[in-house]
Structure 1
Amino acid sequence: MDESMVRHRDWLAYVGPFQFPWGQPGSRRVVGIASSLASSGYHVVVASGEDGPQAISTLEGVDGPGSVSYLGLGETASVGGSLLARAAHFAVRLGRRTVDWLDAQPTRPSHVMVYGGAAQYMLHLRRWCRRNRVPLLADVVEWYDPRHLRGGFLGPLHLSSESAMRYFYPRCAGIVAISSYLEDYYRGLGTNVVRVPPTLDVRTLRVGPAVRRQAADLSLVYFGTPGRKDLLGTMVRAVDRLERQGAAIELHIYGPTATQVRDLAGLERLPKGVDVRGRLAQQEMPQALREADFSVILRRPERFAQAGFPTKFCESLANGTPVIANLTSDLGDYLRHGVEGLVCDGWSETELADVLHAALELAPAQRDAMRGAARAQALESFDYRGYAPQLSVLLETARP
């Protein structure tokens, strides 16, 4: 696809000030939604805040009559200089390059969908859409905890996020919500909402037999940057507890450094079975997942966890790896105890240690059955093609 694509009457702009390359968690959300729209016949142009690529490039392998393309607008990546200059850009100019790009197109998009738009960004986009009578929709995937943002409760990032969540998004022509928590919130405000969990191309993901190379009785894997979301320290301490009782457990950690893991766990030395492997390329993740008996996700049931939805949960099931997790967000809709994995009753070290002990007692046939059920659940619930009809209806009924 080339620049002439934007002359098509059904092209849709999927925009936002995000700065992640394809393959990162945020971009996987964007690719999933854009691919669903392409399945419905829309030609989607994803315009991010990155510096590049400046020219439109096409995403290959999308199943449907439409297409997905990508370019960077330099909305945020080019900002440098002093803290004052960056603050001024965030407060005043964020969103202007996106609006200028929309103005420069020979044909207006049928819709504009925003991902991760702060209040300032939304202000520019809302004005442009109202002036050009183009429906504005928002893809809402989380509700930040102010403790997770620089500046805290009274910081500009939190204030901007809250303004977007409570003022700008409810005034959009439609909402794509990643969780039932967000769906219920915006539906209660009278907004047209469709719930779409994290999606990916499950159907064409090749999943062979499990390749278990570890010698331990139980092999676990964790992916991500825990920050204050994932209770990685609790996971490590639970493994340490069972290891001291004589269990042979391995926990392979991808993302944080060994120092970060020790600090999170509050331990001077990591347990023998904890293997911190650093960052892993996205294309290598499926193999690492399939080598484990379970992936592990543990979060406190606070608002940020209920409003969001962990992409790694879907990726684990898609690769046929069962999940051990406590039930936050909508995980309970897809994770049944003893079927697609094991449900942890809480999020404490003791409760996780109990469910790990139960995992140790599983027979090989039970683990194999869980792998099959995990994959089947992903095919049914997380393939992007399955959400094309709902998204198409949302766009067809959206009005400027």
Structure 2
Amino acid sequence: MQVKGTILYVIQSAPRDNAPTKHAFAIADLMRDCGYEVIFLVAGIEPGSNGGCCWDYPVTIPNSLKLTKWQLIAKYHERMTSCRAYAAFKDKAKEVSPAAVIYYGIEAELAAKVSTWCRDCDVPVLVDETDWFEPHFRGDIAAWIVERSRSKRVELVDTLADGVIAISPFFRDYFELICKEHGKPQVFFLPPLNRNGDSIATIAEGVPRKRTVTRFFYAGSPAGGKDNLACFIKAIEKLSDAMPSRPVIDVVGVSPEEAENLCTGLSKVNGVHFWGRRSHDRVIEMLRESDFGILFRKPELYARAGFSTKFAECMSNGVPMLCNEVGGADAVLETGVDGIVVPDMSEKSMEDGIKVACSMSDCELMAMKKAALDKALQLFSPEEYRDSFSLYLGSLISR
């Protein structure tokens, strides 16, 4: 395929084995399939050299941003001004002559400067938008500065871009309303995409059986306060011996020691297993052995605006979700068909959700697993978006 042009993808942090990297690389896969070369530029402060990493795409980490923990003044100044990051951006843009620029997760000051440069150079600028947190000071001044800056970016800078890649229905609706009033940004809804090997094709029927255990699964880091595990574990403790099939949960990413701080008094509940960190391959193995993934979040802005990759990861492996209703990713589920949605995180809702899951027959559970996978193959497969996304990029670049 002839290369149509180069897209410069500006990201906040160096690629790692985490959800933001998978998200950005999955979109880069799609852009490559549409005929574009993709080059990444890291725009955030990086403590080390990150040398020797094997990434799927060319990644530039500017030397000027490799600041040590002792360079506090330089770090503070950079967070407030993005001077070093912007200089690095201009150098890279001059080198590669991008057909388009996309930024993801960067701070407001840099986003504004990048947008101005793109406008002056007649290069379309797009936003890859995934998060929107209301700034709250929790004792960490650096984290608060970043949080406030990114909120400012969504409200004041993203609206001036030529295009927005919106991860959630919330962001799609938010920016489409702005587009109707001002003629831009043009919006493309793109939920978390699977990369090669992330999804299974079919679900093996297996030998009919009467299960005695219903396995729930969570992988992540609830310590940040986004996800709530304690309410679900309390419900398991109460219902453990009262269900047709006994509820158990595997929690990956939280060690038994960390669990006691996270879920005080609940870390040793029967049927609750904390496994600490595991390799990605092992996490997928454990996931595929489970019956339901879980995700419980507060009905706040971050939950409505984001779209947890847990939905894509679980459903794409034939594991339906049990979650609460927040007006975010839960909106894609048809409760009772391809997942279970409870109203809130109350004790009654948790218990009701577990009762529904643990009372399902094996045939009913298998039907829900197949429905979850069928929806995932439509919603999270890059092939479903290739043609429309190619037209979208082409229209912005030609304009």
**TM-score of the aligned structures, taking structure 2 as reference length:** 0.86
Give the CA deviation at 1:267. Answer: 1.8
Distance 1:155 1:205, change over 3 A: closer
Distance 1:260 1:17, change over 3 A: same
Q: Report whether the alignment pairs 1:30 with 2:27.
A: no
Q: Report whether the alignment pairs 1:146 with 2:127.
A: no
Give the CA deviation at 1:381. Answer: 0.8
Distance 1:20 1:225, change over 3 A: farther
Matches within 5 A, 1:21-170: 21=16, 23-49=17-43, 59=56, 68-73=57-62, 76-92=65-81, 93-96=83-86, 98-105=88-95, 107-147=96-136, 151=140, 155-170=144-159
Give the CA deviation at 1:154. Answer: 11
Q: Report whether the alignment pairs 1:16 with 2:16.
A: no
- In structure 2, the residue matched to 1:200 is 194
Q: Report whether the alignment pairs 1:223 with 2:223.
A: no
Q: What's the CA shift string for 1:156-175, capped at 9, x where partnerless?
A: 22331222111111111111
Give the CA deviation at 1:291. Answer: 1.1
One-letter amino acid matched to 1:346: D
Q: What's the CA shift string for 1:40-84, capped at 9, x where partnerless?
A: 11111122345666799773xxxxxxxx54443457454432433
SS state of the match for residue 260, structure 2? helix
One-letter amino acid matched to 1:126: S
- In structure 1, the residue matched to 2:293 is 295
One-letter amino acid matched to 1:289: L
1:239 to 236, 241, 254: 236
Q: What's the CA shift string for 1:177-217, capped at 9, x where partnerless?
A: 111211222222222111111111367734664899xx852
Task: Determine the C-alpha separation between the residues in 2 that align with 1:171 and 1:396.
Answer: 19
One-letter amino acid matched to 1:72: I
Distance 1:165 1:25, change over 3 A: same
2:247 to 246, 249, 253: 249
One-letter amino acid matched to 2:89: V
Give the CA deviation at 1:319. Answer: 0.8
SS state of the match for residue 146, structure 1? coil
- In structure 1, the residue matched to 2:177 is 188
Higher mean C-alpha displacement, 87-96 vs 351-360:
87-96
2:367 to 330, 345, 369: 369
Give the CA deviation at 1:32. Answer: 1.6
- In structure 2, the residue matched to 1:382 is 380
Task: Determine the C-alpha separation between the residues in 2 that align with 1:152 and 1:327.
Answer: 32
Q: What's the CA shift string for 1:96-138, capped at 9, x where partnerless?
A: 3531442451x40100000101112213322332332211111
SS state of the match for residue 220, structure 1? strand
Higher mean C-alpha displacement, 339-348 vs 89-98:
89-98
Higher mean C-alpha displacement, 358-367 vs 147-156:
147-156
One-letter amino acid matched to 1:96: Y
Higher mean C-alpha displacement, 12-21 vs 73-82:
73-82
Instruction: Give the aligned length.
Output: 382
Give the CA deviation at 1:374. Answer: 1.4
Task: Determine the C-alpha separation between the residues in 2 that align with 1:116 and 1:231.
Answer: 24
Task: Determine the C-alpha separation between the residues in 2 that align with 1:394 and 1:54.
Answer: 35
Task: Determine the C-alpha separation between the residues in 2 that align with 1:337 and 1:144.
Answer: 27
Q: What's the CA shift string for 1:253-281, capped at 9, x where partnerless?
A: 01123344333333265301110000121
Give the CA deviation at 1:155. Answer: 3.9
Verify the 8 A CA contact 1:14 1:114 in the aligned structure 2: yes
1:177 to 117, 141, 166: 166
Task: Determine the C-alpha separation between the residues in 2 that align with 1:169 and 1:75.
Answer: 26
Task: Determine the C-alpha separation between the residues in 2 that align with 1:389 and 1:74.
Answer: 38
One-letter amino acid matched to 2:220: G
SS state of the match for residue 256, structure 1? coil
Give the CA deviation at 1:223. Answer: 0.8
Distance 1:341 1:9, change over 3 A: closer
- Structure 1 runs of 4+ with >4 Å offset: 49-58, 74-77, 148-154, 244-247
Task: Determine the C-alpha separation between the residues in 2 that align with 1:56 and 1:279.
Answer: 21
Distance 1:269 1:398, change over 3 A: closer
Give the CA deviation at 1:284. Answer: 1.9
Verify the 8 A CA contact 2:288 2:318 in the aligned structure 1: yes
Superposed CA RMSD in Å reads 3.0
Q: Report whether the alignment pairs 1:397 with 2:386.
A: no
Identity rate, percent = 23
Task: Determine the C-alpha separation between the residues in 2 that align with 1:104 and 1:52.
Answer: 23
Task: Determine the C-alpha separation between the residues in 2 that align with 1:274 and 1:281.
Answer: 20
